Amino acid sequence: MAVQIPLKITFLGTGTSQGVPLIGCTCVVCNSSNEQDKRLRSSIHIQSETTSIVIDSGPDFRQQMLRAQINSLDAIVFTHGHKDHTAGFDDIRAYNYIQQKDMEVYCDKHVEAVLKKDFDYVFADLKYPGVPKANLHRIDRNGFSIGDLHLLPIDLLHYKLPVYGFRVGDFTYITDANYISETEKEKIKGTKVLVLNALRKEPHISHFTLDEAVALAEEIGADQTYFTHISHQLGLHTDINQSLEPKISLAYDGLTINV
């Protein structure tokens, strides 16, 4: 691993693909007045002394950047190509204008195909004035660096779809997964802060349940584990948090931690 550097992690969104509250839902969670029960689509911001990156740009990307006051962004790193992780890509053009440079984008071939299909105008030979500008980089599975940040990809499965988690120093981020091989778990061990998806209590075809996430958190043994990609079906933030041991808690939108 590279030399450890201080990191500031901000949870930009901690919700599932539809967010919380869901449109038209009248359940107790969607009707909650607790701000910690209001969840945009899952994404995080990682800030070192000199480098600012976001993992995933979902449909709430613009709102998240404004809310967190992220005025400088060096790169976007994608876990996978589902819409709740890519749909806000067009809004990188604000950073193009402010920073007067292309956005550096790190993804695998599947995400690249999604971006080129959904945002074909970004990659057209003849570009309309003002469209986003991006430099695509293929993720190196052995690890890659963005500024002073070194990212180690972790191979995961989201049902049958290969997706990435990432370890950055003593911080590991895993979302949209329900399987991690023993080999890949070795990359996570020793992490001080671990983030895992915990969709709901009932079994799901492509996400860890709350119990599965707790079991994995206990196996890895990080100093602190946070759960993300949470649906309204999991329950009220306060109730679920009170049921968890102190080293495990639900993340919430706007939560900032230092690693």
Residue 199 CB contacts under 8 Å (≥ 6 apart), including other chains: 16, 207, 208, 209, 210, 229, 230, 231, 233, 234
pLDDT of residue 141: 94
pLDDT of residue 3: 62
Q: Where are the domains of the chain?
A: 8-258
What's the mean per-residue pLDDT of the chain?
A: 97
Q: Answer yes or no: is pLDDT of 202 > 60.
A: yes
Q: Answer yes or no: is pLDDT of 92 > 80.
A: yes
Give the side-chain half-sphere CA count within 13 A for 128: 7
pLDDT tens string 96-146: 999 999 999 999 999 999 999 999 999 999 888 899 999 999 999 999 999
pLDDT tens string 157-201: 999 999 999 999 999 999 999 999 999 999 999 999 999 999 999
Residue of 258, 167, 249 whose CA lies nearest to 213: 249
- Extract the tokens encoding 208: 């860890």
pLDDT of residue 4: 82
Q: Which fold has domain 8-258?
A: Metallo-beta-lactamase; Chain A (3.60.15)
Residue of 153, 145, 152, 148 whose CA lies nearest to 48: 148
Q: Answer yes or no: is pLDDT of 248 > 90.
A: yes
Q: How far apart are the first and last CA of the chain?
A: 15
Residue 151 CB contacts under 8 Å (≥ 6 apart), including other chains: 77, 106, 143, 144, 145, 166, 167, 168
Q: Answer yes or no: is pLDDT of 2 > 80.
A: no
Confidence of residue 233 (pLDDT cuts 50, 70, 90): very high
DSSP 40: P
Which residues pair with residue 77 across a beta bridge? 55, 106
Q: In angstroms, rounded to a whole number, what is the distance separating the alpha carbons of residues 60 and 67?
A: 10
Residue of 157, 192, 148, 145 whose CA lies nearest to 172: 192
| Phi and psi torsions of 251, nearest 5° | -75, 165
pLDDT of residue 127: 87
pTM: 0.96
Q: Answer yes or no: is pLDDT of 93 > 70.
A: yes
pLDDT of residue 115: 98
Q: In angstroms, rounded to a whole number, what is the distance separating the alpha carbons of residues 111 and 134?
A: 14
pLDDT tens string 25-34: 999 999 999 9
pLDDT of residue 15: 98
| Phi and psi torsions of 28, nearest 5° | -65, -35
Contact 59, 84 (CB under 8 A): yes
